Structure formats: structure tokens, C-alpha cells
Structure 1
Amino acid sequence: MKALNFLTSRKTVLSLLAAITLALLEAVLVPQREGAGGKLPAWLEKLPGPLRETAGFLGLDNVVGSWWFMLLIAFFGLSLLLSTWNQFLAVASQLKRPPRPDAVPDGVRLPGDLAGLAPRLAQAGYRPSGSSGEVHRFVKHRAGYWGNFLLHLGLVVAVIFSLSYVVTQHRVFLRLVSGETVAPNPENSAEILGALRFRRPLPAQITLERVEPSFYPNDKLAGLGSRLSLKQAPGGAAQRVEVALSDKSQFGPFLVYQANSFGRAFLLEFTSPYRQGLARERLLIPYPQRRDKAGYGEIPLKEEGLVLKGKFYADPQKKGLKLARSPLFLRLYRGQELLGVASLNAGGLGNLGPLTVRLAGEAWWTDILLDGSRGTSGIFAGFAVILFGVLFSYCLVPREILVREGEGELYLRHSARRFAQLYREEFEAIVGEHRNTKEGEP
């Protein structure tokens, strides 16, 4: 019993809620793996080895998927579940319990009997809800008594499905290039796993077939959509799905989302005195955000100890953001030293310091998210139940009128769960109409 009282005490609930709030605040203020495309955040990579291992064990880079956050949610859910059951028992008992015989020792006195008053109460929405001797209870909006219970129930549903999300979290980030088929693996994707390291089988093959951005006249992004072809098993039938920023799709156990990042991928072929044969590198550049601004990107050439930087404009005439044939501008650096510059069109050659570079091709790239986590729909369902609880509590406020029968007269007492003064006028109108009727009788 002591354990039950401890779990349902206000101090325990508030302490757990404060701990969860602080954890979520930490997740907002400290860069997380999800914000880094599933990769280790920069702050974590800079830590010394022991500190990095400790931070990883504590899940500071993935708070909502950590073991301790799962325990917090579990205890909070158990506490709310017990409180909700207590709320249910309390409301059910209140609705069944008859009024006490001494519930109306005094009150507003009216002439007449209950038979004459009952129709007027019914007309105002008050229904009989139990009697005890000469005392009768009439209630308006009985459903409003369940408001607090629904609030608790909604919280329980949201917390339970949040726990499900924390346990089953499996999010896979992929950067895809149009026209290329990839088999998701740790080298070309980044995963975020929940507290129990639950992992769903990934698609065997994914092909990005098309990327379609659109823009408003003021250069703001109007829409971004992609078409994908996925295979669950090698050699199996391909399933096409289309996604957009506001439109997800389903593939097997995963929801497929379009991320808000895209650009152009430039395939560069070059000869280098530091390598044998023809070398290839892919330069991914984010799409320009304005017609008069370029998109920038760079790749390190480790064998040469050089950095290759590039930029391009969506439209060389800078008349809009619709893609037009635009050259790729390249610069080659060794540290801060500029070794060479070149401007290449598709198939063109250029010399950059010790390198001879050819633009072999270009295509769209974009980021796609595969989400195999479970519980998101339940969380929103919990919020919907909470909304109903608020509506029941504040729009269907339960009001009671207790009536005690005397000798040729009645004694009335009015009460409301909340906003009592606001609903007092309603009670006075009922009393006034009854008095006027009795005074008009011969």
C-alpha cells in the first residue's frame, strides 16, 4: 500500500515530470544524432575516448532512445496508470452514490412540490441522478464528471506509446543519388536505435528515380518530392513509392519520409600524379537557396593532401531557381594556397594544379528517412483523448441541483464543478420562473 501511495503521490508525479522535462530540454539544447543525419554529433567526436564512451553509454547524443529515459517513461506511465484507475473508481462511485439525507439543511425556498419543479428542471437540461429520502439530485452534463479521467487516460496512452517509441526506435537516414541503386548498409546509411537496440530488416535495394523541387516566385521552397524504387529481397519485385515534404509512404515495416535537403551530385574523373589510373570522386553540393546565390561544397583528396571546392548556380542568368545548364566552378587548395581554378560543363576537361579533371556527369541527390519506430500514432491518439478531456471538463461543466421536499415547499441548493458564479444565473432563472408560475396560480 505504501508503494502504491508513493507511486501515485503528487510529489512523485511532479518529480518524474520534471525529470522528463529536463531530459527533453537536454535533447533540444545538446545536438543529437537525429539532427546530424544519424551520425555522431561533432561535440561527441571531439571528446576524449573515455568521456566519449561514457556519453555514449548515457545516450547523451540520443536522449529519447536511451535506457534511462525509457525507465523514466516507464515509471511515469505506471504512476499515471494507477492514478487513472483511482480516477475511474472515484467518478464511478460519485455517479452511483445517492445524496446524503442531510445534504440540504437549508437553501433557496420555493413553494410547491417536486412534481411541479421536475419538468422545469428537465427543460433546463437537469436529469434525475439519485435520491435519498426527501433529498433528490438533478445533474446537467453528467459526462463532464469524466473530464479529469479522460485527461489522465490520454496522458497514460501518450506515455505508453512514447515508451513503445523509445523501445522500438529504428530510424535510417540515406543520402541517395538519382539513377543509382544502393543496398543500405552501415557505410552508406546512418541508424538511430532505441533503448533495446531493436532493428528491422532493411530493404535489399533502393533506387532514387526522380527528385522534383519547386519554388515560389520569391525563391522559397514550395515543394520537394521524390520517387523511389525499393526491393524487399534481392531479385524480388520492385515497389515504387512517392514521397514529399508533407506526404509520407509505407514500405514494409517502414514509413518513408522526404527530408528537407537536396542538391546536385557531380561525378568528377581526374588523373593525378599521386594515383594510378583514372580516379573518381563525387562532389555533392546543396541546391542554392536564392537565384543570385550559389550552392557550395567540397571534398578532401586524401592521397594528394588537397581540398577540391566547387560551386554552381541554378541558373547562370540568375533569373530563377529552376535548374538550367550551369557550369561547375572548381578550385583546388593545399591548405590556404590556391593551386588552380576551372569552369566545367558536362563532359568538359580542365586543369587544376597537378590534376586534370573531367565532369563525367551530374544528377540530383536528396536525403530519405526510413522510420521503423512504433508508437507515433498512439502518441497522437493520446493527445486526442487529452483534448476530449479538456472539452468535457470545460465545455460540459457538470452542475447539480439538490432538492429537499418539505411540507408544501421545496429547498434547493445549486453547485457547479467550476465557474460556479457563471452558472448561478442559470439556477436563478429556474427559481424565478417557478416562483412566477406559482404566484400566477389562483
Structure 2
Amino acid sequence: MSRLRAVVAALTLGAPFVATAADITRVASSFEDDDPFGMFIDVGFEHTQRRTKILREVLPLGEARQLTPELWYKSHDTRLNLDLAFGIYQDVELSFGLPIILAWNEDWSYVSGRNAGNSSIPSNTVRNNCEDGRPCVADSPEPLFAVPLESFRGGLGNMRFGLAWSVFNQRKDDTKPTWVVGLDYEAPTAAQLNPSMVTASDDRGAVGDRVHKYTLYTALSRKIGLADPYFKMHYTIPVRGPGFYSNCDNRNVEPQNLGHPDNCGTPGWDRKTTGILPAHVAGVTFGSEFQVYDQPRRKFKMDLRAITNYVSEGRYYNELSGALRKLLYTGDYVQIGGQLALTAQLSDVVSVRGSGMLLYNTDHVLTDEKIGKDINANGSVDITDEPAELNPNFDYRTDFVSRRFYASESKDFRVDITATFRF
């Protein structure tokens, strides 16, 4: 009977408890009276799959625009994540992280009902840059790329450095929630990803986008009985770093995937204009941890969360880049999904966390380069009389209205298991 009363009291907040922050607000702390040095070492294995149906735009004469299914895109990313976090003062943490991409494999195949005989991909007859940047019609079909197709990448990823401060800590003051503010910096340390490179399983391409990424975030959690609800907001600001990629760097790819490569490097079309334009990402996460089993040295908890991210438009490596062998201007989209995680604390030092996450990506365009810009400032873009105004990245085969590609039914599924060592 006394045990039942204790459980009821905890559920109704009538019993005292030791407040511990949710994982999302975890911060290593040092120079505490009872703990002079705090440190976490995380070793995680992560596998992410993306599956996207790729549609192509069709604009029949006198009819509304239609989107025709063409391909299934599948991506498999398997990596080892190594992270170290240690307290540099009370409730102030410095952290480092390094992902090792063991394999990032992509493949493209026809959707059901589509084949080499009825797909627009092998039957393409449009050619780029025939005369003064104008397209022309080939005498025989020139496929955009071979289907089925595979791509293979891997290697060391970008290093991450982080600084986090727990402004309030419920463990020290149970009248306040745990509130964390932080900055993560992802450095462009990985070798440059060159989308024009043909890869193989025994000759993998690199994975680096050569972009600095600064992520500002804040998170709140408050333990209430057996629950520990939390909320987090984050925003990632990308800044191109040294050695960023431009499609003009490999302007002689065959078949020609630039509308007018002769404009590369000319006034108005320098590398900053034609190079990677990484997406900005903003997101909100909310959920709660639930203490399922709680003993002095062994604990078991469940974590349920909802996730929403906004990914802005930009020119970067997307679901068709490996096939078309270039960075592609991609429309903005929203990710919506959730995650379930289970954490077992095996001792004061070791805990293991396993999670599964599913995200749905809203439909968006994959090939949407603008045809040009008004370089001579006459108020209009005239690529006929002013070929210098034609965007060298523009591809008549895929960026022209009625030939663009779209992502649909796109989903990300991620599973990971992480061992944490606490000191």
C-alpha cells in the first residue's frame, strides 16, 4: 500500500524527486562541489534511408501541367558518429564531433509501368549549347543518363564544434526548468564532393559540401513527475567555405549539362554566382521523456518527439545530382515526422540509447535554375540578343518549363544506437 501511495504521489507531483534534464538539454558541467569534472563520450552507429519518387513535368499543348512518374530514388547512408563533450565551467560545455561515413550509396530505377521504351529520360533529343547558348534537336535520342544507375560515396565527414550553456538548471533550482542555449559550428573539413565524378563501389567519391554551418539553438525541459517534456528551436546559417564547388568547375561534362558554359567566369557569372547555394534550415522539436524504470544505478526511459523542419531553396546536391552530375537548384520544402527512442542506463558510467525516426518531405522541384539575369540593366532578360545573360547553370533539358523534375512521396527513415560513457 505504501508503494502504491508513493507512485501516486510521484504522478501527482506530491513526492519529491531528483530533477535530471532530458537528453535534449544535456550539458556537461565541471567545477561542481560534488563533481569537479564532467564529460560525455558518445559512440553511435547510424543508418539513414531516403526514398523519393521522381516525377517529370509535362505540358501538353492546350492542357494544364501534368507530373508524370519516372523514377524511384533510394539513398542509404551508414555512418559512425564520434562525439566528445566536457564541461569547461559550471553548466558550460564544449563539444566536438566527427562522422565517419562508411557508405553513402544511391540508386535510380524506373517506377512500375515505366521503362526504356516509354520514359522521357532515354528518349531525350534536346541538346545544350549548340549555337550562342541556344538549344537544338539531336538527330537521334541522347539519354539524360543511364537507368538503372548507382552512385557510391564515403569518407570522413565535416567536423563539428559546439558550445552550450545551461542558463537554468532544474537539478540545482527545482523552481525553474532546464534552459540551454548553444551554438554548433560544422567546419568544411571533408574532401569536396564532385558530382561530375563517376563513382564505383571500389572507387568512392567524397562527401564534403565545403560549407561552414552555424546552428543556433535553444532548448527547454522540465521534469514533472515521471515525465520530462521538452521543446527545442534551431536555425542553421550556411556560409560557403574555401574550395566550394561550382558546376562551372567541370564545364566539359558529357553529355553537356550546362546551357552555355562559355559564360562561366564572365561578368555576372563568377564562381560565387554559379557555385553551391546551400539551404538554410530552421526547425522545431517538442516531446517528452518518460521514466519507465528508476533505480539508483539503473534507469530505463522512453522518449517520444515530434519534428518539423523547413529547408529553404538553394543550389546543392539533391536526389538527381548524382545522375545529372551537377548541383541542382532545388525548391524549398518542409519535413514533418517523429522519433521514438529508448535509453537504458546500465550503470553510473554507461548508458545505451536506440532510436527510430521517420520524416516526410513535402513535394518540391529538383531542377529549377533560372534561365538568366539582367546583366546590361535594361529591365529584361534577353538571352537571344544578349547571350551573356544566359545562366551557365541552366539546362534546357531539365530546367525549362515542361521538362523539370520534382520530388514526391519522399521519406527519410533513420535508426541509430549510441553508447554513452559518462565521467
Q: Which has the higher contact order (CA 8 A, sep 6+)?
A: 1
Structure 1-normalised TM-score? 0.23
Q: When you count strand as a share of all residues, which structure comes out higher?
A: 2
Structure 2-normalised TM-score? 0.23
Q: When you count helix as a share of all residues, which structure comes out higher?
A: 1
